[in-house]
């Protein structure tokens, strides 16, 4: 009998002929996350991954594997021989280390190996009877097949795998299985959450941060880099492009209506993001916009801003309110960093009375007063790149 970890994958079962590609992506991401902890062996059997490692490392391994997208459960299991006596011994080892007093349970058997003579329902009943005989009286343990306090699982494959403790994963799709996105990473609460949510759908994430030094502090840039580091715990390696918008803002303030500043600057951001994406093969842009949250996030404003790029713009937070977004920021660990009081370029140059229902015709008239190509190219030429 051996102690192993098993990893159960979620939506990957739905991927048909592409399933192996998704499995490989998920397993590669697991290996990346646990390389510093180490393991002895790893193998895939009947769509589950099994990891042999030092049992003392299980807690650390589970913590890191839980950060990998595409996983629904990580379980601590006993790998037994495929016979009744060995499986019963596995059950005893598990239950002897659990708090089962005054609780209800259910046994579920999954008989993948159909050569195993006893069918799943009968074997579940048999093992349930074994548990009741050995634990019911002294622990007041009872069966409840509809709503048990805990479940005991038995998988009959090449070996028999017995387990009861399941740790929930994040679900989603393996990172890198859904293309490459460029996240417009501000120093706020929303954009890291947006990046996390798109990464959960399998998109590999790199970031673009706009600042306006010397009008904003270099600490604001460092804050964005720190947020990128937090996000990279889930996304792996990422690149952060840092573009200075100071000259663009000065040109807008000099040549355009003040109340159009936010819309005009966001259109610059979209065009710059598109140029960086074309050069680096990014498939889409990602923003942290939530409908109606600020002046630039009205339907009219977003429509005019999106006109500046041909790339698709993903907005995973569009229908969430601020409380929901904060809850997710707390979950991924970015909230405390996001609320540090350093101004970003958008807030520094935001007009006191921003336009909320811009007309594309008038915005383009204002842009005709600007040397757009030159301003964008200079900003890109002077950008800094940070690899996380």
Residue 296 has pLDDT above 80, yes or no: no
Q: Class of the 2-168 domain?
A: alpha beta
Residue 184 is assigned to a ligand binding site: yes
pLDDT at residue 214 in the model: 84
Q: Which of 73-91 are b and which e, b meaning 16 or more Cβ less than 10 Å from the residue's Cβ?
A: bbbbbbbbeeeeebbbbbb
Rounded to the nearest 10 degrees, the angle between the axes of helix 190-200 and helix 218-235 is 20
Residue 125 is assigned to a ligand binding site: no
pLDDT at residue 165 in the model: 85
Residue 293 is assigned to a ligand binding site: no
Record the pTM.
Answer: 0.86
Residue 175 is assigned to a ligand binding site: no
Cα torsion 233, 61, 70, 112 to 10°: value is 170
DSSP per-residue string spanning 185-229: --SSSHHHHHHHHHHHBT-EEEEEEEE-TTTS-HHHHHHHHHHHH
Q: 103-120 pLDDT, tens per residue?
A: 999 999 999 999 999 999
Q: 45-99 pLDDT, tens per residue?
A: 988 999 999 999 999 999 999 999 999 999 999 999 999 999 999 999 999 999 9
Residue 203 has pLDDT above 60, yes or no: yes
Residue 364 has pLDDT above 80, yes or no: yes
Q: Is 378 helix (H, G, I), strand (E, B) or coil?
A: helix
Domain ranges within the chain, ordered by starting residue = 2-168, 180-387
Contact 124, 85 (CB under 8 A): no
Residue 266 is assigned to a ligand binding site: yes
Instruction: Give me the CATH topology for the region 180-387.
Output: Rossmann fold (3.40.50)
Q: 223-266 pLDDT, tens per residue?
A: 999 999 999 999 989 999 999 999 999 999 999 998 999 999 99
Contact 227, 337 (CB under 8 A): yes
- Side by side, the strands of the sheet bearing 41-45 are 41-45, 48-52, 2-9, 71-80, 160-171, 150-156, 104-111, 142-143
pLDDT at residue 47 in the model: 85
pLDDT at residue 219 in the model: 86
Contact 329, 193 (CB under 8 A): yes
pLDDT at residue 103 in the model: 95
Q: Look at strands 313-314 and 48-52 and give their pairing.
A: unpaired
Q: 297-356 pLDDT, tens per residue?
A: 889 999 999 999 999 999 999 999 999 999 999 999 999 999 988 666 555 566 667 888
Residue 209 is assigned to a ligand binding site: yes
* Distance from chain centroid for Cα 164: 26
Domains 2-168 and 180-387 share a fold: no
Residue 19 is assigned to a ligand binding site: no
């Amino acid at each position: 009998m051996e102690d192993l970890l098993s990893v159960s994958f979620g939506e990957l079962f739905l991927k048909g002929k592409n399933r192996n590609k998704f499995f490989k992506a998920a397993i590669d991401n697991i290996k990346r996350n646990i390389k510093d902890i180490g393991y002895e062996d790893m193998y895939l059997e009947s769509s589950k991954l099994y990891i042999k490692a030092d049992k003392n490392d299980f807690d650390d391994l589970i913590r890191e594997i839980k950060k990998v997208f595409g996983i629904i459960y990580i379980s601590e299991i006993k790998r037994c021989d495929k016979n009744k006596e060995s499986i019963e011994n596995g059950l005893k080892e598990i239950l002897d280390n659990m708090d089962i007093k005054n609780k209800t349970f259910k046994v579920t058997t999954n008989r993948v190996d159909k050569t195993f003579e006893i069918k799943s329902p009968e074997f579940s009943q048999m093992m349930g009877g074994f548990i009741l005989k050995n634990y019911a009286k002294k622990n007041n343990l009872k069966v409840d097949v509809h709503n048990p306090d805990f479940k005991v699982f038995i998988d009959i494959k090449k070996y028999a795998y017995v387990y009861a403790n399941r740790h929930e994963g994040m679900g989603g799709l393996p990172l890198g299985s859904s293309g490459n996105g460029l996240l417009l990473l501000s120093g706020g609460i929303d954009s890291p959450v947006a990046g996390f949510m798109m990464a959960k759908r399998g998109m590999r994430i790199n970031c673009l941060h706009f600042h306006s030094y010397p009008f904003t502090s270099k600490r604001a840039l460092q804050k964005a880099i720190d947020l990128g580091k937090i996000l990279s715990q889930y996304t792996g390696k990422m690149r952060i492009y840092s573009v200075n918008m100071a000259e663009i803002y000065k040109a807008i303030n000099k040549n355009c209506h003040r109340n159009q500043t936010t819309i005009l600057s966001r259109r610059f951001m979209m065009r710059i993001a598109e140029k960086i994406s074309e050069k680096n093969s990014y498939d889409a842009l990602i923003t942290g916009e939530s409908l109606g949250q600020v002046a630039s996030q009205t339907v009219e404003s977003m429509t005019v801003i999106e006109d500046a790029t041909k790339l698709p713009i993903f907005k995973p937070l569009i229908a969430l309110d601020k409380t929901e977004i904060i809850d997710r920021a707390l979950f991924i660990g970015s909230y405390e960093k996001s609320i540090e009081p350093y101004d970003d370029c958008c807030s520094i140059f935001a007009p006191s009375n921003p336009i909320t229902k811009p007309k594309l015709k008038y915005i383009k008239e204002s842009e005709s007063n600007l040397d757009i190509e030159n301003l964008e190219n200079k900003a890109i030429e002077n950008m800094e790149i940070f690899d996380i």
